[in-house]
Amino acid sequence: MTAGGDAVTLVEMAPRDGLQNEATPLTPDIRIELIQRLASTGLTQIEAGAFVSPKWVPQMAGSDTVLASLQHDAGIRYPVLVPNMKGFEAAQAAGARDVSVFAAASESFSRKNINCSIAESLERFRPVCEAAQAQGLRLRGYVSCVMGCPYEGPVDPEAVLAVSRELFAMGCEEISLGDTIGTGTPAATRHLLALLTQELPVGRLAAHFHDTYGQALANLLVALEAGVRVIDASVAGLGGCPYAKGASGNVGTEDVLYMLNGMGMTTGVDLDAIVDVGAWICEQLGRPPASKAARALAARRQST
C-alpha cells in the first residue's frame, strides 16, 4: 500500500454518530466519560456531539456541556456537527475549534434529515463556513448518501461530486463521504472515488462508511488503495442515523484497526484499549458490540 503513505488518521464517531441513534439517550456525564476514555487510546480526532435541534435528535442534547468539559489543548481535536448559524454560535460558545457542516447527495435525504433542499442547505452553510474561517476554526464537510439513499435508492456519483465541490469552495478542509445506509459495494466505491479524485485532492477526502450490509471493510480497502487516509469509525460499531431507518452503525473502530494493523499501516491507536472502551460503552447501553473484531478479541481474552 503506497498511495498516500502508510499512516491513517481515525476519526472516532461513537460519541456523536454512535449515540445519536440509541433508543436511550445517555447523560452528558457518560458521554464525557466515553470521550475521555477514547482520548486515552491514542485517537487524535473524536467527534464530540452535534449542535442540532434537541427536538429532532434528543440524544445529542447537552452537547454544549460535553464540549465545554473537554481539554482542547492536548493534541486531540473534538469536531462537532453544526447545521446552521444557531448551531454554530452555540458550538462556538461551548469552545468548539472544529465544526462540521453536513449536506447530502440526495434531495429526499436532505429534506428528511435537515428539513431543506440540498441547495438551501448549502446556503445555510455559507455563513457558517465564513464565520468558521474568519475565526480560524477547522471546517469539515460531510456528504451523506454517497452510494445510496434510503428514499431514492442508488445515488449518481456526479451528485456527490457536485455537492463536494461546493463544500470545498466554501472552505471545507476535508470532505467526509458518508455511505449512510451502507449499501455501497467495492465496485461502487471504486467508481465513486475514480470520479471524485479526477477533480478533488484525495488527501482531503475521508471515508465514512456504515456497515449495514457488511461491506464497510471491503469498501475501506478500496478507498485505501485509492489513497484515502482518513477513516471515520465508531467504537463497538455503534451508530446510525435517525433519518435513515434500518441503517446500522459506522464500521467498528476495532474492525478497522484490526485490518490496518494487519496491513502494517499505522494509526497510533491501541487496539486493546479500544476494545476496553467498546466493552465499557456497551455495558452502559446494555447491548453487545456490533464489531466482530471486538467480540472475537473479547472472547480470546476470556479463553486465556
Residues with a catalytic annotation lie at 241
142 interacts with ligand HMG by CB under 6 A: yes
83 binds ligand HMG (CB under 6 A): yes
Please tell me the distance from the alpha carbon of residue 90 to that of residue 184, in angstroms, as a whole number: 35
Among 31, 97, 208, 295, indicate the residue that binds ligand HMG (CB under 6 A): 208
**Segment interacting with ligand HMG (CB under 6 A) among 77-85, 153-161, 260-268, 278-286:** 77-85
Per-position x/- string for 35-54, each x denoting binding to ligand HMG as judged by CB under 6 A, each - no binding: ---------------xxxx-
Phi, psi of 177 (to 5 degrees): -95, 110
Number of residue whose CB is nearest ligand HMG: 178
Q: Does residue number 87 form part of the binding site for ligand HMG (CB under 6 A)?
A: yes
Q: Residue 20: CB partners within 8 Å, gap ≥ 6?
A: 50, 57, 59, 60, 239, 240, 241, 242
> Quick count: other Cβ atoms within 10 Å of Cβ 55?
7
Q: Specify the amino acid at residue 131.
A: A
For residue 45, give the 3-state DSSP assignment. Answer: strand
- Asked if residues 147 and 133 have their Cβ atoms less than 8 Å apart, the reply is no
Contacting range for ligand HMG; rule: CB under 6 A; set: 184-192, 193-201, 216-224, 236-244 = 236-244
**What grid cell was written down for 232?**
471515520
Which position among 59, 63, 110, 180 is part of the footprint of ligand HMG (CB under 6 A)?
A: 180
211 binds ligand HMG (CB under 6 A): no
Cell numbers 475521508 label which residue? Answer: 206
Q: Alpha-carbon distance 158 to 150, whole Å?
A: 18
CB within 8 Å of 126: residues ≥ 6 apart: 170
280 contacts ligand HMG (rule: CB under 6 A): no
The answer to whether the beta carbons of residues 275 and 296 sit under 8 Å apart is no
Binding region for Mg ion (CB under 5 A) out of 17-25, 127-135, 146-154, 282-290: 17-25
Residue 85's Cβ-side half-sphere holds a number of Cα atoms within 13 Å equal to 6
Q: Between 112 and 295, whose beta carbon lies closer to ligand HMG? A: 112
Q: Does 84 bind ligand HMG (CB under 6 A)?
A: yes
Note the Cα 98 to chain centre separation in Å.
13
State in angstroms the smallest separation of the CB of 247 from Mg ion. 8
Chain residues 160-179 in contact with ligand HMG, contact rule CB under 6 A: 178
Indicate whether 57 belongs to the interface with ligand HMG (CB under 6 A).
Answer: yes
Smaller CB distance to ligand HMG: residue 180 or 248? 180
Is residue 236 within 8 A of residue 254, CB to CB? The reply is yes
Number of residues lying near ligand HMG (CB under 6 A): 26
Which residue of 17, 47, 166, 174 would you call a contact of Mg ion, by CB under 5 A? 17
Report the residue from 59, 110, 113, 248 that binds ligand HMG according to the rule CB under 6 A: 113
- The residue written with cell numbers 481535536 in the block is 77
Q: Which run of H or E residues covers position 6?
A: none
Whether residue 48 contacts residue 79, with contact meaning beta carbons closer than 8 Å, is answered with yes
Kindly list the residues in this chain that would bind ligand HMG in the complex (CB under 6 A): 17, 20, 50-53, 56-57, 81, 83-84, 86-87, 102, 113-115, 142, 144, 178, 180, 208, 210, 241-243
Kindly list the residues in this chain that would bind Mg ion in the complex (CB under 5 A): 17
